[in-house]
Structure formats: C-alpha cells, structure tokens
Structure 1
Amino acid sequence: MLDHKLFYFIAGLTLGLALAFGPAVVRRVVNALEGPDRVAVYRTLDGHDLHLHVFSAKGQRPSTGAPALLLFHGGAWQYGSPEAFFPQCRVFAARGVSCISAEYRIASRHDTDPRAAVEDAHAALAYLRGHAGELGIDAARIAAGGGSAGGHLAAMLGVAADEALRPAAMVLFNPMLDLSPGKPDHHLVAEFWQAVSPFQMIDSAPPPSLILLGTEDREVPVASAQAFCDAVIGHGGRCELALYEGAKHGFFNLRENDRAYFDATNQRVAAFLAGLGWLSD
C-alpha cells in the first residue's frame, strides 16, 4: 500500500507527464498504482522467471476460496505483455473473481515457438492449483482464458490429453482455434500444427466454454469459432458463441474514449460465470 504523501506526489507527477506526453503515460501509471496484489514466480527456465500477476477477489470469499480466471495475453506467440489484461482483472476482482494475468515465453523475448507457450500455460494452471490455499482461490473453480494467441493457449488447456489437467471452464476472446493448412496463422506453426491446433483435439468432457468474437475478425473466422463450439457440444460439452457485429480482432481491449466493447464483453463473461454458479448475476 502506498504512503498517502507518496501517492499524491505520484498523482501530481502523473498529471504533469500526461499533459506533456499524452494518455499512454496515464495508462502505465494507472497500471502501476492499480496493479496486482501479488506477483508470483510460477516457473524458472534458463535463468528466466515467468510471473503470474494476481488480482485477488474483493469482498467476502467462500470458505473454499474464490473462483479464479487465468488469462493469457495475445501477440501471435511473439509479442505482448500480461499488462494487456490488467483492466479486465481489475473488473473481475471487484466482482469477487480472482483474476490472474500470466507471463509466458514468446518469440521476441525468449526465441521460442508456440509449443513452449503451451507448456508454460500448463505450468501456470498447475501452479494455481498447487497454491490455491495461499492464494485464496478454489482449485476446483479455475477458468482459463485469453485473447488471440492467449485464447489459443487457454483452449489447449481445455483439450489436454489428461482430463484431470483441464480447467473448469474456458473464456476465449477471438482465440486461434484451428491452425490447420489454409487457416490464418498456419504459417507460424506449419511444421508442427497438429500438436497445437485445439479444434482437432476436442474429445470427451470438454469444459464449459465461452467464445467472444467480432464478425469482422480476419484472424479468426466466425466459421472456425462456430465449428469449435459445435464440436464441443457434439462431444457432450457446453459452448456459447457471443458475436459482436462489425468488431475486428482485439475488439475487447480497453481503448481511449471507447469502453463499449470492453464493458460489453466483461458483462458477457460475468453472465457466463454466473451461469456456472461462480458469482451472482
């Protein structure tokens, strides 16, 4: 917790920087002041620590712990930062859902491909389950989600070969679901696409799933998302596809002077979680 004098100093400095350099500075300072309650190292590889940014559920928690939402940022498995989902995490923590934004290996920083990112996603979920008590979360109510490439990682968790390792639910923002030949981004995984394409791996016991997608998304065709949902339902699962007319890739992000899609998608996710009995509608 910041000392109040330091807080006002930073607030004044922020205003000055914002006037001088624009709103991007404001976003960075807000993330610093309203950042995670805890940052945990969940994996260390080749001297690199990978972190989970934990926004703890506010209010009274059930004796079993709060439900949790583990989110992975987008960036084509090459770029991006956990800060991308900090705005959503603040929203859901205020609603009583612990929200965790994960760092994972990406090409620009670690010289890796999507297979490494998938490994990290499994490790992140395993860490949350193994440390659920100290984090105040319910190990049986952890949903995995993310945007674009991050949605792909969450979907890969949902189709894990060992059903016991799957999350309890999936919240997928314009996720890469079908990486087969002829699909967008196949070129990034052409040599090993069968190992990382969630659509082809759907089998029995898929977790309840929500997909949020813009109708004008060139990276994730509506037909691919619908096929994924149909396959989940065909294997006895539950899948909801929420379409946003005219929206493009990344539409759910918080933008300057435009909260419409941000607020709408957050409300839709909250309704989905309420349908699971994880929070009050």
Structure 2
Amino acid sequence: MRTLAILCLLAGCGASPAEPSPAEPAARADAEPERDPLTAAREAFADGRCELPRGSDDATTRGPLIYAESESKRLHLDLTRPEGEGPHPVAALFHGGGFHGGDEDHLAGLARDLAAAGWAAARIEYRLAGREHPDFPAPVSDARCAVRYLRAEAADLGIDPERVVAIGFSAGGHLAAALALQADDGRLDGACLHGGPPDVRGAVAFYAPLDLRPEVPWDASADRLFTRFLGKPREEARALATLASPVSASDPKDAPLLVISAEDDAIVPRAVTEHALEQLSDAPHAHLVQAGAGHGFGLLGDEDPRATTCAVLAYLDAI
C-alpha cells in the first residue's frame, strides 16, 4: 500500500504548491487506494478478461524441504520462486483427492504459472488416510505446520511471511478454509518444527467440503470419505465432525476466504456449499460459482474457466 501525503510549507500554503522534499515525495493524484481482495475477485469474475501468466525458465524450485515429522514419515514441501531476490508473496498449495489420495506433484505446473505472476508457490505434502491412515486432525495439523514453516523460514526462502495465502482444491480446499477460519483453534495443532501462529493473509477454496456435521445431507460416497477422514462415522463423532467443519468457526477478524464452486458439481454440490456459507455471517468471504463446470476444474490453464482464473489473480493482486 502506498502512503498518501500532501506536503505543504507553512509559509506557502496559501500561494503556490510547495516543493516536495527528497525524503518525502509528493502524493500522486492517481495513486490507487487499497482494494478489498474479495471485491476485486467478484469484479474480475464478472468481467472474465485477463492475461494468463505462463511459467518460464526463470522460476526456480527448491526442495524437498522438510517442514514437519510425523510418527510415520517426514513431511516435505517444494517451493517454486519467481526470479529476483524477493521477498515474494507465497501461495501454499494443497492438492485434492478425498483426503486419501492425490499428490502435490500434480500442482507443479500451477506453481510455475504462479511464479510467472510474481508469486512463490509451495506444494505441500500432507498425510493421507489411504496411505498412513491418520486420525483427524492430522491433515489439518500438517497444513498448519507448513504455514508455520514458511513464516519461520521466510528470510532464508526469500518469501514474505506476512503474505502467505492458502489455495486448495477439493479436500485441499478444506485445508485452505481451515487455515483461514480456524487459525486460532489449538485443538487442530500437531507436532511442528516451528512455533508461531499459522496465520494466512487469505485463502482460496475450490469445490471444498466445508461442513461435515451430521445434519448436512452428503451422499453415501462422500460419507465414506468423511468416515475415513474422521476415523468413524459422522453420526458417532458429532464433536469431531464439528471441529472438522471450517464453517463452524466465524469471526470478523478471519482472513478473507474466497470459495469457488462448480455449477454442475456432483461431488460437492453447490447447494451444500451455499448452506455451509450461511454459517459465515461474521467472517469475510465471497462465493463464486463457475457456470457449466464440474468438480475438479483447474486454474491458470488455457482450458480452465477464464472467469475463475481472473478472479483468483485479482484476489492475489489485492492481498
């Protein structure tokens, strides 16, 4: 944010404008005010026109970097950075896969494209129920540890610890939303290599399950995934299912959450997401619905919905 200042020498205020001092430049009449990222996203989504950043050979990737150690394995992330010294804003990327599959390597192309847009991107590995069968809140704890690592090691990594944004897809979107809405809930913590708050500046959640409480009508296939994620059926673990629902927490001081749904999503239905977001009367958020899309569409690719891409780029630019 550029600070606006009007400089005037006392002896000359009623006459001609004063000359600005070299150490304190005059204000620019055309200086842009700080933009609200959610408003910027809505406007860009409605417009649907923007240039796509494209990855280049100037981006560099560092990793694997160990950010946490669980009982069964070391957890790592890979950081792709734009050229230049930085510090660069950084997006923590979380893949989808129903909490039991998927791979952070699938986000390598997105990381390079974000680097072309001036953002570092960390592809985060987290524990999966299908491989390590961790009990909740293990994946959320891993996400919190990853953010703590990025913030604590920011100087060495060339990133800005105050401009960390979480971006997640499907199950990864759940983790991104949890970082935005439940940052101060210590019940979600695990054993991290670094302390400090797991605060993010913002979060983008694509077609994410945001409310796992028993009264929410998910279909049988989703219920099976949630049972694996929680370690028991939702009906038998109401308190746990509530803790695993990012929308169960709502505070005006939460990081702004951008939720993106697919109009024809059969896995995370739009109506379920809309009902979940009704719980967020206090938290800053926006909900965009991509017309004609199903679950799993991407970001920044030529074949991906342009309106959504423009919205996310505008959101990041305003963060």
User: After the TM superposition, which of the residue ranges 165-174 and 218-227 deviates more from structure 2?
Assistant: 218-227
Displacement of 1:263 in angstroms is 5.2
Contact 1:77 1:114 in 2 (8 A): no
Matches of residues 65-80 of structure 1 in structure 2 within 5 Å? 65-80=87-102
From 295, 308, 313, the equivalent of 1:249 is: 295
C-alpha change, 1:268 and 1:60, in structure 2 (3 Å) is: farther
Q: Residue in 1 aligned with 2:75?
A: 50
Q: Residue in 2 aligned with 1:209?
A: 257
Partner amino acid for 2:61? P
Q: RMSD across aligned C-alpha pairs, in angstroms? A: 2.4
CA–CA distance in structure 2, aligned partners of residues 86 and 169 of structure 1: 21
Q: Residue in 2 aligned with 1:18?
A: none
Q: Residue in 2 aligned with 1:261?
A: 304
CA–CA distance in structure 1, aligned partners of residues 84 and 303 of structure 2: 26
Asked if 1:172 is matched to 2:220, the reply is no
Q: Higher Cα Rg: structure 1 or 2?
A: 2
Contact 2:248 2:279 in 1 (8 A): no
Task: Name stretches of at least 5 consecutive residues in structure 1 with no aligned partner.
Answer: 1-33, 277-281
- With normalisation by structure 2, the TM-score equals 0.67
Partner amino acid for 1:273? L
Contact 2:290 2:305 in 1 (8 A): no
Q: Deviations over 1:58-92 (max 9, x none)?
A: 3463xxx1111001111111011001211211111
Secondary structure (helix, strand or coil) at the match of 2:182 reads coil
Partner amino acid for 1:36? T
Identity %: 32
Partner amino acid for 2:128? I
Contact 1:77 1:113 in 2 (8 A): no
How many correspondences in the alignment?
236
Matches of residues 80-91 of structure 1 in structure 2 within 5 Å? 80-91=102-113
Q: Deviations over 1:33-64 (max 9, x none)?
A: x9833320111222511111111133463xxx
CA–CA distance in structure 2, aligned partners of residues 206 and 223 of structure 1: 24
Contact 1:57 1:93 in 2 (8 A): yes
Q: Residue in 2 aligned with 1:29?
A: none
Q: Which has the higher contact order (CA 8 A, sep 6+)?
A: 2
Higher helix proportion, which one?
1
User: After the TM superposition, which of the residue ranges 115-124 and 180-189 deviates more from structure 2?
Assistant: 180-189
CA–CA distance in structure 1, aligned partners of residues 104 and 299 of structure 2: 13
Spell out structure 1 runs of 4+ moving beyond 6 A: none
User: After the TM superposition, which of the residue ranges 192-201 and 175-184 deviates more from structure 2?
Assistant: 175-184
